[in-house]
Amino acid sequence: MKKIINEIENEVEKLKKQSRKLKKKTSIVITLTTQKSNWKMKIFPIRILENIICLPIGIKNDTDAKEIIKKFDGVVNIFFIDAENKLIKCQDLLQKTQKIIKKSTVYPIKGNDFSADAAYAIILEIFKNVNGKNFCVVGAGNIGSKVALKLIELGSNVFILNSNYSSSKRTASAINTLKPNECIQKAKPIDKLKIPEKLDGILGFTRGIPVITSDFVKKIKKGGILFDGGTGTITDEAIKYAKIKKLKILKLDIRMGFESNIILMQNTRKLILEISGKKKMNGFDIVSGGYIGNYGDVVVDNFKKPTKILGVSNGSGGLLEKAESVKFRIKNKVNI
């Protein structure tokens, strides 16, 4: 443990140096993984985002997380803590770490979600329009099932292939229950002996287990993709065969999903603490930031420093229709 803490110290020094140069805040991102691997803790490359610089660290037990936090609390500006309960040794990690973080700011993150968001965004960018496309999701667990649902909602035909047919059937049924009733596409369970022909893509989300073989790749049509969403889901032979077929072979790169989720958490906190609320101004009650006001309250962009009137509250979260004359009178009165 001492050796890896020293390695983290070296990376944090690099982090702080870049922070001063770029004028961005520093952060440590503590992530959890369920993938089978030999390492107990792993330091990932530093990531430079819109307004912060991150050092991601993968862990497998909460003891390591606590050691990292005790050492670097106050040294970095922010801790992002993976809040998912997906490892027995890391149950309630956010709750446990919040108790010992005294100086740095802490935000919860959900690693599986930004992995799913990144995978979905990559697939969408490659195809531009996935309506009518045929995909097979291999290993539709927490991440794969989310990607499958998103694709179905956009009109894709999605086949679910898990370790056995009963599992595939349960997952497909759950996805079909969650999808909008108006969406006519449905997730279809299959077994490995009945993989459909002419697929646009096979998307692997097993936990680093290479189950996608050359027989799978034979089912992908020209111009299709072979996507490794679980890091190590495709056999070497399958990759070689996919190259011969000149398919697009990609692995999951989570950086965009990672960044968008982190920005979401930061901006949401700003919304709740700085923009959402209510106060009186020149005889009017003004509200903003999703705050549900009373009937007749004035809805503005920011109740603390309003610059724009958005409408007049109907008392139940919406705006009154035909309130232009009221807005004009209010605008003159409060000088917005």
**218-273, pLDDT tens digit by residue?**
999 999 999 999 889 999 999 999 999 999 999 998 888 888 888 899 999 999 99
How many angstroms separate the Cα of 234 from the Cα of each of 150, 213, 239, 286?
23, 7, 7, 57
The structure's pTM equals 0.85
Nearest-angstrom CA–CA distance, 287 and 294: 9
State mean pLDDT over 9-28. Answer: 95
With a cut of 60, say whether residue 328 has pLDDT above it. no
pLDDT at 215 over 80: yes
- Tokens matching residue 73: 């609390």
Return the domain boundaries, the chain. Answer: 2-109, 113-256, 277-334
Residue type at 286 in one-letter notation: I
Reported as a single tens digit per residue, the pLDDT across 270-323 is 999 999 999 998 888 999 999 999 999 999 999 999 999 998 999 999 998 876
pLDDT computed for residue 86 by the predictor = 78
From CA 109, how far away is CA 28, in angstroms rounded? 12
Per-residue burial over 123-148, b if 16 or more Cβ lie within 10 Å, else e, is: beeebeebeebbbbbbbbbbbbbbbb
Q: Model confidence over 71-127: pLDDT tens digits?
A: 999 999 999 999 888 777 788 888 989 999 999 999 999 888 989 999 999 999 999
Q: How confident is the model over 134-184, as pLDDT tens digits?
A: 999 999 999 999 999 999 999 999 999 999 999 999 999 999 999 999 999
CA distance 336 to 328: 10
Distance CA 149, CA 146 (A): 5
Rounded Cα distance between 216 and 112, Å, is: 25
Domain 113-256: give its CATH superfamily: NAD(P)-binding Rossmann-like Domain (3.40.50.720)
